Amino acid sequence: MLAAVALAAGIWPLRVRRRRAANKVRSACVSTEELYISTRLTEVEVQELVTEFCQWRGVHGVKTGRWYAERRVKLFLLYLARGGYYHQCGRAEGLSLTATAVYLHQVAAFFAETAAR
């Protein structure tokens, strides 16, 4: 009887809400292959590109951290060195296809603008 009164009053839940499933954690693929093997650029040269990319983004009003800039530049270099399959490069880095396309576009714009000068 008490349950019927509580149900009529609207304080008894009709349906029990389940808790959300835990978020999935993506783990990126890690390669032990050196970047030099596929790009023929030393680590110093890659770091120079990263510094220039950070400065270029700063000129356009976007402050990019060095870690993110390095990740984007290396992704672009691997994209060029491995035949231009952005979905494979993105999956290897643990990125979505959209993020991969955006990152590659940003670094390509940097190279295009730098080459035009």
Residue 75 contacts residue 100 (beta carbons within 8 Å): yes
Q: What is the pLDDT of residues 44-83, one digit of tens each?
A: 999 999 999 999 999 999 998 999 999 999 989 988 888 7
Looking up tokens 């890690």 gives 30
pTM of the model: 0.69
Domain ranges (residues) in the chain = 66-117
Residue 72 tokens read as: 């984007």
Q: Range with the lowest mean pLDDT among 5-9, 90-94, 107-111?
A: 5-9
